[in-house]
Chains A and B, each alone.
Chain A
């Protein structure tokens, strides 16, 4: 059995694990990030509304209210250095009824106390001057200019990529199956995984919906995740212009309700539903979900055509009883840290949570981990060139550098072979990972054309037979074998 030695192990490479890995990479220490998935992001960080919330939703005094506005600021700060797409679109909470307008006042007040800048309540007509497709029924809206939409794929990759440049090691398809502790769970010294043992004096639980199980391995029962599914639909870019800002209906008892937004790439994102379920992993979509989402979205923006949907997806929220984040260094076993119950606005909060966890390590676990600066720390990185977004001159320059930039792989999103090869060089191992890195397959034909081409390039670059290429790791192979071999295998 292989054993590997680290200073800190992070379980989970969602936005929380990735942001934390990046902050820890500023210190001279060996950090391992373990994730059971074959690509990142895979959990809630893959399937959410991609909103960088302004920070008016949460009660002052909660951890959410503390980390959301500061996380928002940090996303704005890091966008340039880490090179991910963040669109400063601002957000509207829309009120249809009298009592909802009163609710806007309460949100405005709460936002001010949480330190959210620039908020104001505007009339329905002012809203429609700015956003001509907004419903005529909307009577007033709370405008928060610091609300932004992020490319959530790129953001997670950016944090992790930068962490890896600074020496952090990422282990994919490595599921944590147990915690290694001393007698009586006094101290933690590593984890057991499907790929062997990883040893470290500090283990951080950032396992998203699975944080409850990991916490239980440490003997801490208080983290109870109640998974709640949210279904979404993505439309073709031809209707992406319907809105500029991020639209929320006035929140109800069920949560923030259905939202409508133009994504970082100008598709329209509509959703999510809110359906409690028992399965932690079930991200399937339903007929009912679609109807609910379309109805809800049309309340805000009546012009959304149903024919424009190109795909659907669902995310699972890591809801907890307390409703707040659960971030704590456990007393027992020493060295174990929970960063659990990170539900919305968890994506927004993650970079602020990361800085906070670094502080906690420094203050509470100084005996187990030494925090000296990493002399080789590079705070910035660049994403793979986004060919589709460049000017003709910039494209020419790339093509002169590498002719593979002139070889289109995905025609819907104009992704070139050079981008796919670079994604593989940076760690993409599956068709889904290439999509996450480059958007190949994310367009209107959903990979019908480029899927086989991406698979070919993966096989070539990884030096594996085409039949071994998977969609998303595990048993998700694209092909079952060569046509003629089929006969030789007999009737298995």
Chain B
């Protein structure tokens, strides 16, 4: 078995991993390798051929592949090595890991530090327990997107979308463009799962019906999907008797949530947060194993790629510093808590050595002015609204943290109506 030694290893060449590679090189690591199981670089963005990427980073609206092209060029310029078609399939507790590909076979990689950038995967039908038969024609929106945008195949002609995550909304429009009919998007919650901008641009502009408080209660068909039963749900998300109706369709696209892909992280013994589904990290993106860092959708599902790239860069930089001379030890440590109307947040703890950005999502929408605050007067900002589909950020300076009274060990973040 071949053993390989490198300075910084990055797993996954999506926006997080590519930026991590650059960050690691620019912070001085010599031998930086990004391992990617796909044939091409770019992660999920390869199949996102719609515009809307990079407004923050490049002040331009790029498509996913255009956006990634810029980062990949920069990575090549910085001297990052890429290994594509190479799967990391096992990880050890010490952080070493195993890769394989048909040219090189199996290799055992030891790195000074690792950045996890595996992204996330889509939730399948079974996970949301929609009963019925199991015909062909049920896809996650991302799988359908790959078929249509990258391989040039149509998964079906008459489409129902379950869930209103961004991928589903974008695919509803895409299927329409390809000549399919889209019978509707059904969302079990009382608010959309994706960005408002996507509701407007993908559904409203094309007259695609959008039903909140609705779900699919059954799928029908033996060989190919023939239709779904949809129903309105009550406050407990239970279908309301008598509201069921049959919608004929040959395709059901699922946009019912993303799950951070953390099988490798678990093997490495990294602590996983029960709510985010990603590793517990601090603002340096360091996990509970000090040589393992993580960034991007593997940590928490972001809605804007610019944040993913920025966090990836930071993770790569800190991984390189760790591998070279070790990160400065935190003299103080603060646990972050989600307070009023905060469902998920990351990082989960802060050291007093670095400026911090806390990302968070609200539990329920607030359609009026509200405030995001971090207690002890660390942060306060007014928002025009706060919606579960859209992430908010909180910025805290390291010196503010250092100035906190010695008995402060926790920082609570709240979102409250004004």
- Could you list which residues of chain A lie within 8 angstroms of chain B, going by C-beta atoms? 233-234, 281-287, 289-290, 309-313, 392-393, 395-396, 399-400, 403-404, 406-408, 411-412, 414, 444-449, 451-452, 466-467, 470-484, 486-487
Name the contact of A396 in the complex, choosing from B1, B133, B217 (C-beta under 8 A). B1
Q: Please tell me if the beta carbons of A406 and B102 are within 8 angstroms of each other in the complex.
A: yes
Q: Range of interface residues on chain B?
A: 35 or more
B 214-229 binary contact with A (CB < 8 Å = 1; else 0): 0001110011100000
Q: Please tell me if the beta carbons of B153 and A408 are within 8 angstroms of each other in the complex.
A: no
- Measured between beta carbons, the chain B residues less than 8 angstroms from A311 are 124-126
CA of A131 to CA of B180, assembled, Å: 53
B155's nearest neighbour on chain A, judged by CB, is: A479
Given contacts A283-B133, A407-B85, 16 further A-B contacts (CB under 8 A): A234-B126, A283-B134, A284-B132, A310-B127, A312-B126, A396-B106, A403-B103, A408-B100, A445-B121, A471-B136, A475-B223, A476-B224, A477-B224, A483-B152, A483-B178, A487-B179
Q: Please tell me if the beta carbons of A480 and B131 are within 8 angstroms of each other in the complex.
A: no
Q: Please tell me if the beta carbons of A472 and B100 are within 8 angstroms of each other in the complex.
A: no
Q: Please tell me if the beta carbons of B132 and A285 are within 8 angstroms of each other in the complex.
A: yes
CA of A342 to CA of B142, assembled, Å: 42
Counting from the closest, the 9 A-B pairs by CB-CB distance are: A311-B126, A471-B136, A446-B124, A403-B102, A476-B136, A475-B223, A476-B223, A406-B100, A285-B131
Q: Please tell me if the beta carbons of B124 and A483 are within 8 angstroms of each other in the complex.
A: no
24 A-B pairs with CB atoms under 8 Å apart are: A282-B133, A283-B134, A286-B218, A287-B217, A287-B239, A309-B127, A310-B127, A311-B125, A313-B134, A395-B100, A407-B101, A408-B87, A411-B87, A444-B124, A445-B121, A448-B122, A448-B139, A452-B146, A467-B153, A471-B135, A472-B136, A478-B155, A481-B153, A483-B152
Q: Please tell me if the beta carbons of A452 and B136 are within 8 angstroms of each other in the complex.
A: no
Q: Please tell me if the beta carbons of A475 and B106 are within 8 angstroms of each other in the complex.
A: no
Interface residues of B in 124-175 (CB under 8 A from A): 124-127, 129, 131-136, 139-140, 142-143, 146-148, 151-157
Q: Please tell me if the beta carbons of A452 and B151 are within 8 angstroms of each other in the complex.
A: yes
CA of A450 to CA of B139, assembled, Å: 12
Interface contacts (Cβ under 8 Å), in number, total 141
Q: Please tell me if the beta carbons of A482 and B100 are within 8 angstroms of each other in the complex.
A: no
Q: Please tell me if the beta carbons of A483 and B127 are within 8 angstroms of each other in the complex.
A: no
CA of A471 to CA of B131, assembled, Å: 18
Interface centre among B85, B142, B143, B148 (most CB of A within 10 A): B143
CA of A399 to CA of B156, assembled, Å: 38
Interface residues of B in 276-319 (CB under 8 A from A): none
- Chain B min CB distance to A432 (Å): 9
Q: Please tell me if the beta carbons of A289 and B131 are within 8 angstroms of each other in the complex.
A: yes
- Measured between beta carbons, the chain A residues less than 8 angstroms from B223 are 470-476
Q: Please tell me if the beta carbons of B105 and A406 are within 8 angstroms of each other in the complex.
A: yes
Q: Please tell me if the beta carbons of B105 and A452 are within 8 angstroms of each other in the complex.
A: no
B89 in contact (CB, < 8 A): yes
CA of A406 to CA of B219, assembled, Å: 37
Q: Please tell me if the beta carbons of B1 and A392 are within 8 angstroms of each other in the complex.
A: yes
Q: Please tell me if the beta carbons of B131 and A312 are within 8 angstroms of each other in the complex.
A: yes
Q: Please tell me if the beta carbons of A406 and B106 are within 8 angstroms of each other in the complex.
A: yes
B71 in contact (CB, < 8 A): no
- Chain A min CB distance to B2 (Å): 10
Q: Please tell me if the beta carbons of A479 and B153 are within 8 angstroms of each other in the complex.
A: yes
- Measured between beta carbons, the chain A residues less than 8 angstroms from B222 are 281, 474
- Measured between beta carbons, the chain A residues less than 8 angstroms from B36 are none
CA of A290 to CA of B238, assembled, Å: 14
B387 in contact (CB, < 8 A): no
Name the contact of A290 in the complex, choosing from B131, B151, B178 (C-beta under 8 A). B131
Interface centre among B104, B131, B147, B263 (most CB of A within 10 A): B131
- Measured between beta carbons, the chain A residues less than 8 angstroms from B218 are 284, 286
- Measured between beta carbons, the chain B residues less than 8 angstroms from A487 are 179
Q: Please tell me if the beta carbons of B131 and A408 are within 8 angstroms of each other in the complex.
A: no
CA of A472 to CA of B224, assembled, Å: 10
Name the contact of A448 in the complex, choosing from B100, B124, B129, B224 (C-beta under 8 A). B124
Given A309-B126, A476-B135, A478-B136, verify A448-B157 contact (CB < 8 Å).
no
B250 in contact (CB, < 8 A): yes
